[in-house]
Amino acid sequence: MFKIETTDRFDTWLAKQDKLVRLRLVTRLDKLSKGLWGDFKSVGEQVLELREHFGAGYRLYVTQMDTVLVVALGAGDKSTQAKDITLAIQTAKELRK
């Protein structure tokens, strides 16, 4: 079991998505809180990319801060993937300080 915390940037991004996208992504975070990681890969610096295969190919970026805390660092889709990864890694580094 993990406690999910989100950043303001993630919350702002999520609020701009349509209702169905928000529902599916919140469901993914709920599953993550139960230890069900689903499709993910490491993007470096202890940041993981959770991949969703619908719509624009949504991505959620998370890092595990300790054994019980996962922080949603940001999100995006395939069109903003490189920028989103850079920002997620930067945010993770800032949170660890």
What is the Cα–Cα distance from 63 to 50, expressed in whole angstroms?
A: 11
According to DSSP, residue 78 is labeled G
With b for 16 or more beta-carbon neighbours within 10 A and e for fewer, the 66-78 pattern comes to eeeebbbbbbbee
pLDDT at 56: 92
For residue 66, the model assigns a pLDDT of 82
Predicted TM-score (pTM) of the model is 0.92
Per-residue pLDDT of the chain (97 residues; tens, 9 = 90+): 899 999 999 999 999 999 999 999 999 999 999 999 999 999 999 999 999 999 999 999 999 988 778 888 999 999 999 999 999 999 999 998 8
**Residues making up the chain, counted from first to last:** 97
Domain extents in the chain? 3-96
Q: What is the secondary structure of 51-75 as a DSSP string? A: E--STTT-EEEEEEEETTEEEEEEE
CATH superfamily, region 3-96: RelE-like (3.30.2310.20)
